[in-house]
Amino acid sequence: MIHRLIPCLVLAAAGSGSALAQVTTYPPAGRLLAANCFQCHGTNGRAVSGFEKLSGKSAAEIAKEMTEMKAEATAQPGEKGIMGVHALGYNDAQIKAIANYFASQR
Amino acid sequence: MTIDRRKFTLGLGLSALAAPISRAFADGLPTSLLGANPIWIPASTNPVPVPTNLGISGRVVVIGGGMGGATAAKYLRLWGGSGVKVTLVERATTYTSNIMSNLVLNGSLAMSSLSFGYDRLRRNYGISVVTGEVTGIDPVGKQVMLKSGTRLPYDRLIVAPGIEFDVIPGLESAAAQTLVPHAWKAGPQTTALRDRIKTLRRGGVFVMSIPAAPYRCPPGPYERACLVADYLKRNNPGAKVIVLDANPKIVAEAVNFGNAFNLTYAGIVDYRPGVSILSIDAAAGTVNTSAGPVKGDVINAIPPQRAGGIIATAGLNNVGGRWAGVDVLSYESTAARAIHVIGDAAATTQPKAGHIANQEAKVCVDAILRGFKGLPPDAAPVTNSACFSPITATTASWLTAILAYDPATGTMKSVTGAVEAPGPNAENFNQMKQWFSNLMTESFA
């Protein structure tokens, strides 16, 4: 089954590359997850006041900060502020997806 | 507006509230967020442009321009591009925010500062905003009927009508309702309630009631009790706040509100759990409860709630006859196809509140746009609830939770549990203003 499917996909990709690419890249990876941050950090991470602007920040930096906050908040969720609780809500793969999304925004 | 502001300045001047607030919060806050009339949405928000090349097309009508509906309209265009035609139908020309409206009651904010127009949604995202009253939905012909006679065809419909109120026995007449405003939809009732609190007799009694959950904004009634107590503590020593709660205990932020009632407002707030309202004699100022009659000089009864009227009219009220059942992967109604219900009107495991309605809107929009592309909804949506609650005129607490889709139950399940702030403080009050500024810009601009 799998063996049969792969050549099929390769053929389809070769035949109508752009159509397949569109299907696989819409919607952009991490967008809906990252949208959880928009209420405080602004649409696409463009905060208008107070909270940190996330658009265009390096993915490594965002992931590192969230991972650190998550570690600190694990022992005492509320003590590390509201963002500590939010960091607790996501696993490593989700954090990476969110970080990559903001890094791709301007 | 001007009169409102002037009245305010006078009131604040007398109570000497304005100056300490401005000074205490000048640090770290943009000047636009200070005073009784903050500018929540900056003049220049640098909006993200609507893409033109996504190859998605469809017609979506959104009923209701509150937190959920406004966000949905914006994201249909932002994520769907110019091929998605969006019509937002709303009966009011501006939205009045319920969030922050309890701060009108203690004199911290002017009512006029909580109005948000739809011009930016029109201008920045090319949304057609129709001011009108929806009279019905034709799910077969896929049309929304307006009172004006206009019919709006749709491929997908999003219904975000918010809530409506039950009539508490005794409050059937308009006169009785004027005497006992609920002020649970911010607007003229909020101003009326503020004025009643201001003119409460020396040492008088303010009685408020909380309906059994689910109701809009779980921490809201407790926040209100705190802010009314805050005002009375400063301006009317000896006055009392009696809180009649139909729930067996504090529904949200039990520690912070419990401390506020027992310590910050000791001798002022008298919190009575497990007490439900049977009827109210507005003229006599008597609340008849499951625990006997309670007398009050000012009565503020928050009635039991149900989804906004169009939900019942369209037969979407298939949960307890009050709320709309939905599939939380797409917010599509479990009663009708191609109709989605978001926000307070939907029956989900999520709190009925504006911040999470904003994210429900985005999950719903993402699913609709994927559908236009022939793709299934995201199988693992995440939403979050965050809410700052003022405890005094200068301090606030917060409550937050992150929820993820649970395939076993088909519901949104809390990943973190609802976590509240370790305690109220001034920094949270600052963050509350910044949160509200970003949330309103994200939803309306």
Nearest residue in chain B measured CA to CA from A38: B442
Write the residue in A35, A49, A78 that is nearest to B437 by C-beta.
A49
pLDDT score of B277? 98
Residue B161 CA to residue B339 CA, distance in Å, equals 13
Examine domains B5-164+306-444 and B167-303 and report if their fold is the same. yes
3-state secondary structure of B225: helix
- Are A82 and B421 in contact (CB < 8 Å)? yes
| pLDDT greater than 90 at residue B10 | no
Q: Inter-chain contact B435–A51, Cβ cutoff 8 Å?
A: yes
Grade residue B56 by pLDDT with cuts at 50, 70 and 90.
very high
Instruction: Report the amino acid identity of residue B64.
Output: G
Residues B91/B178, Cβ–Cβ less than 8 Å = no
- Band (pLDDT 50/70/90 cuts) for residue B289 is very high
Taking each continuous run of H as one helix and of E as one strand, the counts in chain A are: 7, 0
Q: What is the largest distance, in Å, between two alpha-carbon atoms of chain A?
A: 56
Question: Residue A79 pLDDT more than 90?
Answer: no
* pLDDT surpassing 70 at residue B144: yes
Residue A14 pLDDT grade (very low, low, confident, very high; cuts 50, 70, 90): very low
| Gap from B322 CA to chain A (nearest CA, Å) | 28
CA pair distance B356, B170, nearest whole angstrom: 34
The strand pair at B269-273 and B332-333 is best described as unpaired
At B415-438, the pLDDT tens digits run: 999 999 999 999 999 999 999 999
Residues in chain B closer than 8 A to A39 (CB atoms): 355, 358-359, 384, 386, 435, 438-439, 442
Q: What would the pLDDT profile of A37-61 be if each residue is shown by its tens digit? A: 999 999 999 999 889 999 999 999 9
Residue-level pLDDT at B27? 59
Residue in A with minimal Cα distance to B437: A49
Beta bridge partners of B270: B242
Consecutive H or E run containing B143: strand B143-146
Are B189 and B102 within 8 A, CB to CB? Answer: no
Please provide the DSSP assignment of B312-338 as one string.
HHTT---BTTTBEEEETTTTEESSSTT
Alpha carbon distance B127, A61 (integer Å): 36
The alpha-carbon gap from B109 to the nearest alpha carbon of chain A, in Å, equals 19
Asked whether residue B9 carries a pLDDT value surpassing 90, the answer given is no
What's the rounded mean pLDDT across residues B153-161? 98
- Residue A97's pLDDT is 98
Q: What band does A77 get if pLDDT is binned at 50, 70 and 90?
A: confident
Is B67 or B20 the better-scoring residue by pLDDT?
B67
Question: Averaged over B150-168, what is the pLDDT?
Answer: 98
Instruction: Confirm or reject contact between A29 and chain B (CB < 8 A).
Output: no
Round the average pLDDT of chain A to a whole number and report it: 82
Q: How confident is the model at residue B192 (pLDDT cuts 50, 70, 90)?
A: very high
Give the CATH superfamily of B5-164+306-444: FAD/NAD(P)-binding domain (3.50.50.60)
Q: Is the dihedral of CA B91, B92, B97, B103 positive or negative?
A: negative
* Contact status of A27 with chain B (Cβ, < 8 Å): yes
Query: Residue B57 has which token pair?
Result: 């097309």
What is the reported pLDDT for B53?
Answer: 87
- Give B406's contacts in chain A (Cβ within 8 Å): none
Task: Tell me the chain A residues in contact with residue B416 when contact means C-beta distances shorter than 8 Å.
Answer: 77, 85, 88-89
Window 376-405 of B, Cβ < 8 Å to A:
378, 381-384, 386, 398, 400-402, 404
Give the separation between CA B15 and CA B236, rounded to whole angstroms. 10
Residue B302: name the closest of B98, B107, B116 by CA.
B98
**Looking at residue B383, what is its pLDDT?**
98
- What pLDDT sits at residue A75? 85
Look up the pTM and report it: 0.91
Task: Say if residue B234's pLDDT is above 90.
Answer: yes
Question: B48 touching A, CB under 8 A?
Answer: yes
The residue ranking higher by pLDDT, B20 or B363, is B363
Question: How much is the average pLDDT of B17-27?
Answer: 44
Q: Would you say residue A15 has pLDDT above 60?
A: no
Task: Choose between B407 and A2: higher pLDDT.
Answer: B407
Helices A59-75, A92-103: crossing angle, 10 deg rounding: 140
Q: Go through B319-349 and write b for each residue having 16 or more CB atoms within 10 A of its CB, e for each that does not.
A: beebbbbbebbbbbbebbeebbbbbbbbbbe
DSSP state of B264: I
CB atoms within 10 A of CB B295: 13
Residue B436 DSSP label: H
- Segment B186-213 mean pLDDT: 98
Domain boundaries, chain B: 5-164+306-444, 167-303
B419 lies within 8 A of chain A by CB: yes
The rounded percent of chain B whose pLDDT value lies above 90 is: 92
Mean pLDDT within B222-251: 98
Residue B54 reports pLDDT greater than 70: yes
First to last CA, chain B: 22
Residues B51-64: what's their mean pLDDT? Answer: 96
Residue B8 above 70 pLDDT?
no
Q: B167-303 domain in CATH 3.10.20.30?
A: no
For testing contact with chain A, the best of B389, B442, B443, B444 (most A CBs within 10 A): B442
Question: Is the predicted pLDDT of residue B282 greater than 60, yes or no?
Answer: yes
